[in-house]
Structure 1
Amino acid sequence: MKLIPAIKAVPTHIISGFLGAGKTTLLKYLLTQKPEHEVWAVLMNEFGQIGVDQHMLTQTEGYEVKELLGGCLCCSSQLPMQIALSRLISETQPDRLFIEPTGLGHPAQLLEQLTEPHWQQNIAMQALITVVDGSRLHDEAWSKQNLYTDQLKAAQIMIISHVDRMKSVDDQALYNLKNEYQAYQQTWLMSTQGEITLEQINLPYSGIKRKIQPLLHLQKKIAVGQSLPEIKQLPYHYVETAQGYSIAGWKLPKRWLFDFYPLLDLLCEQQNWLRIKGIFYTNQGWKTFNFNPSQFNYQSTEENIDNRIEIIVQDQRDWQLFEEQLFKCQLKSD
């Protein structure tokens, strides 16, 4: 009788980061740490049709590198990514896997795909890594982009690269960044040329629990004992929990218009919070709100795909009143 070996879930690391942050440099350094008896695999994603990154990694015995070209594996059709990844795992049978999405990708979407139940017997997801170019932290035009902040929020491990090029303004920006993301309890590492050890990043993935619900005023109309309907489109309310913090958020249709000054007053009147971040379509144009306890910032911004707000707190609270006050700031909904 032939024995079929048990399927072993492969420790898998996602290395994300904005364009030019140093993802491939980090990956090259990590690959030098492969034990001789192990096989490692790498799946790289480039947005264009001509692969370059794969050729920057020296092909040596003991690891396999594959590229997925043309589009972003984070947010394009999942099928090409699933085929490429399944083939890489089945053909290589690696002891460890690294995935490097394009710098234009949203790693949270990729993470969501790879933590689905059908992947769990093949993949043991590790803490998601985001690489940040420390020498550009002072550049607000770069650091305020939605894609950049999405990559930061998804990370459990933040690696600050190019620390040898950082100036005093970058050091201050890094201090501010750590304060801004303190609710997510991330691990921060510093690197000059990708010199990070495997032990530093070999941490299990710890997901943020998100509970998507109907708007709170709609929930009041649902009978006791009746299950909440499945939410598939805006508007909706959600609550995330991470490391003892609660993050309450609302996503609202793009067409909803808000009165700027009542909205600003409402946000400024909130008590006992750690962070307030929002993007709203107002009668003064699209506005971003980025509040921490020591500084209230708001400014004009480009058109967004929806209205949204998140408030981070350390305690439990009833968000019904806030939602009612928020909707009173609306000028129209259709």
Structure 2
Amino acid sequence: MKLIPSASALPVHIISGFLGAGKTTLLKHLLSQKPEGETWAVLMNEFGQIGVDQELLPQDQGYAVKELLGGCLCCSSQLPMQIALSRLLSEAKPDRLFIEPTGLGHPAQLLEQLTEPHWQPHLKMQALVTVIDGSRLHDREWTTQNLYADQLKAAHIVVVSHTDLMTDADQQSLKELQQEYQVYQQTWLMSSQGQVDIEQLQQDYVGSARQIQPLLLQQRQQRVGEQPAKIQQLPYHYVESAQGYAVAGWKLPKRWQFDFYKLLDLLCEQHNWLRIKGIFNTNQGWKSFNFNPEQFNYQTADEGIDNRIEIIYPAEQRDWLAFEIVLMNCRIDAAAKTSP
């Protein structure tokens, strides 16, 4: 995986988005803006074993398109992605690179991989782009999926596609979505037929303020001077801040089960927050919670990929240990008594 040193780091754009959002349409329009004399490259990831999207992109001179099939380059072993990317850079020597992960991928994990020290001399990561289908914003079953939310929260730039098909209900849902995600300081672009200028996406990536760390209970048990464990799997706790707000969150294993009424009591007892959202495996089935200061909503939900909760609040110092202790005391699964 030897890379040929370049005079300057290569601009790299990650174009993410849920299934059918319009990523490839956007990508085609971006590629049409390639200056004469430059070579632009695309690394595409298909979850299945047969690639289709590659055939939809320009195959003319000046473009280099490579597909990585079978699995998700965001979530699986980094080795296939490292090899494919290294070969693409060495063989095509592009002036700009676009990466389109599968619609089932977690782009934040891919961005984390590509900002590791090994890649920093070669890749100049740009703001991460997530495409969302504006004509489906009214569909709550679509927009409340965990993966959809993960992709949207990872975005620095949100491209709203299919704007020509948006209804009044979609427009209202868009306003609510922008309000909900204002803490992430994202740029929102409206697009019909993928019409976005490349200049609008040329923003250097600035590292997130998110701090992923072990559960607070585990941190309390660490010895003085002991290095915190590197987070590689659930459970974990994180905090991030932006624009005068902060988000405290927990992601916990799917197999953990919680007492619904104890959990509901805990959430209702919180003070001075702006938004509480979560999904939990409870003794009443999977439940989602969506609280704002005017309304406390909870309902039956589809089975999630994990237990998770986020609390948005004014940026101020808070001791979340007491909250986490009560949260852990809501566990009722068999392993609760022996788990940390």
Q: TM-score, normalised by structure 1?
A: 0.92
Partner of 1:63: 63
2:216 maps to 1:203:
no
Shift of 1:118: 0.6
Does structure 1 retain, via aligned residues, the 8 Å contact 2:126–2:205?
yes
Partner of 2:126: 126
| SS of alignment partner, residue 258 of structure 1 | coil
For residue 331 of structure 2, what is the amino acid of its counterpart? Q
Partner of 1:329: 330
2:321 maps to 1:320:
yes
| SS of alignment partner, residue 178 of structure 2 | helix
Question: Identity, % of aligned pairs?
Answer: 71
Q: Aligned partners of 2:49 and 2:195: how far apart in 1?
A: 30
Show the 5 A alignment for 1:163-202. 163-202=163-202
* Larger CA deviation: 121-130 vs 104-113: 104-113
Q: Aligned partners of 1:264 and 1:9: how far apart in 2?
A: 50
Does structure 2 retain, via aligned residues, the 8 Å contact 1:7–1:121?
no
- 1:76-103 CA-partner distances (Å, limit 9, x unpaired): 2222211111111111111111111122
Q: Aligned partners of 1:223 and 1:101: how far apart in 2?
A: 40
Shift of 1:146: 1.6
Does structure 1 retain, via aligned residues, the 8 Å contact 2:6–2:122?
no
2:312 maps to 1:284:
no
2:86 maps to 1:86:
yes
Q: Aligned partners of 1:312 and 1:327: how far apart in 2?
A: 20
Q: Are residues 296 and 162 of structure 1, via their aligned partners in 2, closer, same or farther at CA, if it must alter by over 3 Å?
A: same
| SS of alignment partner, residue 117 of structure 1 | coil
Show the 5 A alignment for 1:10-159. 10-159=10-159
Does structure 2 retain, via aligned residues, the 8 Å contact 1:180–1:292?
no
Show the 5 A alignment for 1:213-252. 213-252=213-252
Shift of 1:232: 4.3
Aligned residue-pair number: 331
Unmatched tracts of structure 1, length 5 or more = none
- 1:245-286 CA-partner distances (Å, limit 9, x unpaired): 322222333343322122112212222223222122222112
2:274 maps to 1:274:
yes
Q: TM-score, normalised by structure 2?
A: 0.90
Q: Are residues 15 and 272 of structure 1, via their aligned partners in 2, closer, same or farther at CA, if it must alter by over 3 Å?
A: same
- 1:203-224 CA-partner distances (Å, limit 9, x unpaired): 1112323333333234334344
Does structure 2 retain, via aligned residues, the 8 Å contact 1:208–1:242?
no
